[in-house]
Amino acid sequence: MIDLTITEALQKLKSGEISATELTRAHLDRIEKYGKELNCFITLTPERALSDAAAADERIKNGTPRALDGIPIAMKDLFATKGIRTTAASHILENFVPQYESTVSQNFIDAGTVLLGKSNLDEFAMGTFSKTSYFGAPISPWQMERRLNAGGSSGGTTSAVAGGLAMGGTGTDTGGSIRFPCSITGLVGVKPTYGLCSRWGCVAFASSLDTPGPIARTVDDAALLLSVMAGHDPKDSTSANVKTEISVPLKPILGDGKKLRIGIIKEFADVKVSDDMKNLFEKRVADLKSLGAEVVEVSIPNILDALAAYYVIAPAEASSNLARYDGVRYGLRVEGKDIYDTFKKTRAAGFGDEVKRRMLIGTAVLSSSSYEVYFMQAARVRRMIADSFNRAFEQCDLIVCPSGANTALPLDSDLTPLEYYALDLFTVAMNLAGIPAVSVPCGLASNNLPLGMQVVGKMFDDVCVLQLAKHIEQFANIDNRPTKIMGK
């Protein structure tokens, strides 16, 4: 049962062929078997899952099903869940139990989903391999004996979804944290337009970049999840008041003589990627051409500066957002000799090294002597990148590019912080510009591990982005069923 896609499961639930309780039990069994080894969940909620499932079964029986009734999901442990511990994978929030529900998780409740648990991530979503988690890193279910990283920061969700421990789940993408982990685990990850999914109740990292989005095994499944996540939220002042109609199955955007101009970013052509990535990317572009797409070269002149701008802006916002963890209001408190000493001791004990590094960088670039040269300069680069994307979209309808350079590396790879940061090269620019981008599997590399490529669109063109991603998914045609990739 765990190999079913969400779309298939909804059909079977509706027809009565399976029940939500059976579907949930199948996932709880799988969690029991592989959950520890994959380390994909920080907190499990089996009782809640079974009661959600029973309620879903009841509604289905009464003929009043909700959009995603009975679908078991994993919630990134960055979304506040009422009465359920929400840690952001940090020691400082290890015992934090929110009294409120984030908008995104509430939307899932309203859609009838079944909450299996809170999935692992990098501490405060800062990282690329989920290794900065206070609870240890999750691993990828692909070639499990090799202990490959499942990506980050949404690596708990990708590990769970790829391994069949959940049918889909949530992530957040500040600089690539949905797209990168999905690209190396054979999944579909959507970073929607900034503001499409509410940030309310989602632990803040860099507020002008943070973008909640779905993770699933197919493009249609991801679209279904997005359709319940998205929506205007008056509680989030940056939430977009735009109605996005997402109907699944997604319709083809190519074929039958349809016209579509696909842009390839000139500046990315010189970036070194693996031969497999290069070949698969070229193959998929050729496939799209064969369906009638016109391929054009576009230029985003500053795109290679996006990394530098991101690693100024994101830490700057983080240093301000994380100032609230002081041991006074909530979270860990380590008593000192006076209040300042308590602040110091609490923060020294509560945050991990990477989070401290970001706060130091952020505080430095915001200091009066550096603000002009670093922060303001980064803000200007950001504006130029956004403008360049706008100009590029006068020449093309959608853009395609790789999601990363390589397949998954072993978790114990010894990378320096700068080497980790460099892995975000293909993803950060879209966050700076606020535009939608999807990572979709583009094929298997010669080592039999998946690779992903991105489809990028204009603000609020999320549906077109998904439609083109679906064509790529069909051409790539990788088999990412959990029992196939795990061999069990």
Residues 174-213 that bind ligand GLN (CB under 6 A): 174-177, 205
Write down the least CB distance from residue 78 to ligand GLN, Å: 9
In the annotation, is 76 catalytic? Answer: yes
| Rounded-to-integer distance, Cα 169 and Cα 179, Å | 13
Which residue sits closest to ligand GLN, CB atoms considered? 177
Spell out the long-range contacts of 274-278 with Cβ–Cβ below 8 A and sequence spacing 24 or more.
274/405, 274/406, 274/407, 274/445, 274/451, 276/407, 276/445, 276/446, 276/447, 276/451, 277/402, 277/404, 277/405, 277/406, 277/445, 277/451
Q: Which of 19, 106, 128, 302 binds ligand GLN (CB under 6 A)?
A: 128
Write down the least CB distance from residue 200 to ligand GLN, Å: 17
Of 98-106, 109-117, 172-180, 229-237: span binding ligand GLN (CB under 6 A): 172-180
Question: One of 130, 177, 198, 439 is an active-site residue; which one?
Answer: 177
Measured in residues, the chain has a length of: 488
In the annotation, is 191 catalytic? Answer: no
Dihedral pair phi/psi, residue 435, rounded to 5°: -90, 160
What is residue 44's three-state secondary structure? strand
Q: Whose CA is closest to 153, among 185, 130, 184? A: 130
In the annotation, is 278 catalytic? Answer: no
Question: One of 19, 130, 140, 153 is an active-site residue; which one?
Answer: 153
Q: Which of 101, 267, 424, 462 binds ligand GLN (CB under 6 A)?
A: 424
Write down the least CB distance from residue 437 to ligand GLN, Å: 12
Residues 26-85 that bind ligand GLN (CB under 6 A): none
Residues 6+ apart with CB under 8 A from 221: 5, 6, 7, 167, 168, 188
Residue 266 · residue 299 · CB < 8 Å:
yes
Write down the least CB distance from residue 423 to ligand GLN, Å: 7
Which residue's entry shows tokens 């083109």? Answer: 468
Write down the least CB distance from residue 335 to ligand GLN, Å: 32
Considering the rule CB under 6 A, would residue 314 count as an interface residue with ligand GLN? yes
Of 11-19, 170-178, 222-230, 320-328: span binding ligand GLN (CB under 6 A): 170-178
Q: Which of 57, 77, 123, 173 binds ligand GLN (CB under 6 A)?
A: 173
Q: Which of 35, 72, 98, 127 binds ligand GLN (CB under 6 A)?
A: 127
In the bound state with ligand GLN, the residue whose beta carbon lies nearer, of 34 and 426, is 426
- So which residues are the catalytic ones? 76, 153, 177
Footprint on this chain of ligand GLN (rule: CB under 6 A): 125-128, 153, 172-177, 205, 314, 424
